[in-house]
Amino acid sequence: MMKANEQHMKAGYPSGKILVVDDIHDNLRLIEIVLKKNLPAYSVLLARSGKACLELASTELPDTILLDVNMPEMNGFDVCRVLKADPRTSGIPVLMISAYGNDSQIRIGALRSGADAFIAKPFNHAELIALVNAMLRIKSAEDLLKRQNSELELLIRKQLNESSVQESRLLQISDFVNEFFWEVNESLLFTYVSPTVMNVLGYSSDELSHKYHLYDLLAEENREAVKAHITLVTRKTGNFDRFTLRCKTNDGNEAWLMLSGFPFFDAENRFLGYRGAFQNITQRMLDEEKHAMVINTSLDGFVMTDADNIIIETNEAYCRITGYSAAELTGSVLTAIDISEASLSSRKKMHTGFTESEYVRFETKHPKKNGQFIDVEVSINLFKLIESRKFIFIRDISERKLIEAAQIRNLEMIEAYQTRLKHLQAKLIHAEEQERKKMAAFLHDGIGQSLAIAYLKLSSLARPKSSEKADMVIGDTLSLIDKAIRESRLLTYDLSPPILHELGLVSALKWKLDKVGEEFGLETTLNCSVDNVHVRNETAILLYRVFSELLNNIIKHAEATEVIVRIRVEQELLTIEIIDNGKGFDMKSLSTKTEGYGLFNIRERIASILGKLDIYSVPGKGTRVKLFIP
């Protein structure tokens, strides 16, 4: 288990919180022990009601919630719906737990209420830890994606806002700050440079005019290649249409300039040179470089499209997801994902938590170049800062879907195993009862008859003229045989009480209670709301044995003088309540140590018929045990 926890920590999971919700204290304690043993990096929070769960979830914001279905006042389904409806807790994965795991309606109800996974009681500890780890991975991955998307969205908004403001400002003050005008002759030698060149490159007009050529401002690294391109344009007397050039400033720094220019001629149409402007785009280039770095280092795919859904930009992650190169994707229409206005409008209506931020998220199948399809989660931001642009983030969730499919298969296997175990247990109970009947018959028909005959024959030896010593021996022997007969008869009834098979469960429980009261001097009372309870024979036998075991515990440990039993049937739920006025015990002391085998065996038997055992005790005020049987 320690190795598993070390792998868990190495996998990048931070220490956090796990909230466990169950109205039964013993169940809470059991799950707490299992979680603390296997996931010591996490603190375990406990809640015994739906209301307490909602309060803890909203204040503590745990990493995952283990939620019991069957709770009073507010069941697990209602609690899960409230959690998923609250923006503060909607992203917390919920693992639903129920003893009614074989009921498909219960599982469907759990998933419909928003639960992320389901496990039936009794559960395997390794399976529980595996599901909790899966919930933590989902939570960690979703938190990471939210942070990345939020950071990326903020960065993009900031960059786009800055670019928009800067471009607007440039148009207003370009004559004075961020661009300069120029004129060159046919040899591309500067004949005029506007004074604002000082603000851009750090040169004065006089330093450049009639001394520098147009290409002399270029950085040395790409000077020859750009010079050849400029020369080719001038030979055709073409325009310089927004050429992006990397230049050197007077102090040796780098600046990015956008070159725009046109040829001019004399009255006789003889070429004289070029006139144009240099616009400083250094900041924009730096912003675009940062933007490209953020996008290309993201683990999620990124696509930007125009109003016609034509791809303008992609990142490396999207190329890996699809199998296409950036060159193949750029300029093509994005058809792999339906991002039409009708589709996005419909999806936004389904996400009522979103406002007019133009944000849509959904899951879909995405085709690859090789014809395969993968599961992806798509997030679309429709930024109004750049008109008609769609920023689309695509995350590969194939692994998560495989995990979910594996969980479903595991649940199906567990359900099949549980069904087989229940069948085997039913057969075991039936076989055990048959053996008990055989032993009871042997005691009654064999040993019992032999003892009775021995008693009669020995009685015939008693004569009026017998010696006093002989009479004493015969009397003692008859007493012993009579005791043996009564004990064998009682043992016969304990092994297989005929009243259980002939008159039913209620009569058998009353007979057992009366016998215990007579034998141990207890005041006993049985209150029953029905004449009899109709259950399967195997269930009746199991309940009779559990009832007998609970009475034995009272006799051994409670020091009680009174026992009250209440039997009720309400809405197809059988409730058997056993109350004693004994010394009781501290529930905390019970929960801090391992249960005895007898109590553990009782819990397992009740759970095998989808029932529940509830124990409540206060020192000096007795103990109350409740059995709930559907």
- Where do we find the tokens 């009250």? 564
DSSP-H helix ranges across 98-186: 104-112, 125-173
Structure confidence at residue 575 (pLDDT): 92
Both 419 and 526 in one domain: the answer is: no
Structure confidence at residue 374 (pLDDT): 87
SS (H, E, C) 86-121: CCCCCCCCEEEEECCCCCHHHHHHHHHCCCCEEEEC
Both 306 and 259 in one domain: the answer is: no
Strands (E), 164-211: 179-185, 190-193
Structure confidence at residue 441 (pLDDT): 58
- Final residue of a domain: which of 286, 318, 350? 286
Q: Is residue 421, in this structure, part of any structural domain at all?
A: yes
Instruction: Give pTM, 2 decimals.
Output: 0.36
Residue 269 structure tokens: 């149409």
Residue range of the domain that includes 338 = 298-396
The identity of residue 138, as a single letter, is: I
Both 460 and 475 in one domain: the answer is: yes
Both 16 and 117 in one domain: the answer is: yes
Number of domains in the chain: 5
Residue 525 structure tokens: 């009372």
End-to-end Cα distance, the chain: 36
Q: Is residue 168, in this structure, part of any structural domain at all?
A: no
- Final residue of a domain: which of 345, 377, 396? 396
Structure confidence at residue 595 (pLDDT): 57
Structure confidence at residue 9 (pLDDT): 41
Q: Is residue 162, in this structure, part of any structural domain at all?
A: no
Q: Which residues, given as ranges, of the chain have pLDDT below 50?
A: 1-14, 171, 349-357, 385, 592, 594
Any idea what the CATH number is for the domain that residue 372 is in? Answer: 3.30.450.20
Structure confidence at residue 11 (pLDDT): 43
Both 260 and 361 in one domain: the answer is: no
Both 550 and 598 in one domain: the answer is: yes
Closest listed residue to residue 26, CA positions, set 624, 587, 498, 403: 587
Q: Is residue 146, in this structure, part of any structural domain at all?
A: no
Both 10 and 31 in one domain: the answer is: yes
Q: Is residue 100, in this structure, part of any structural domain at all?
A: yes
Both 6 and 123 in one domain: the answer is: yes
Both 256 and 316 in one domain: the answer is: no
Both 467 and 549 in one domain: the answer is: no
Structure confidence at residue 599 (pLDDT): 77
Both 327 and 427 in one domain: the answer is: no
Q: Which helix (H) or strand (E) holds 289?
A: helix 282-297
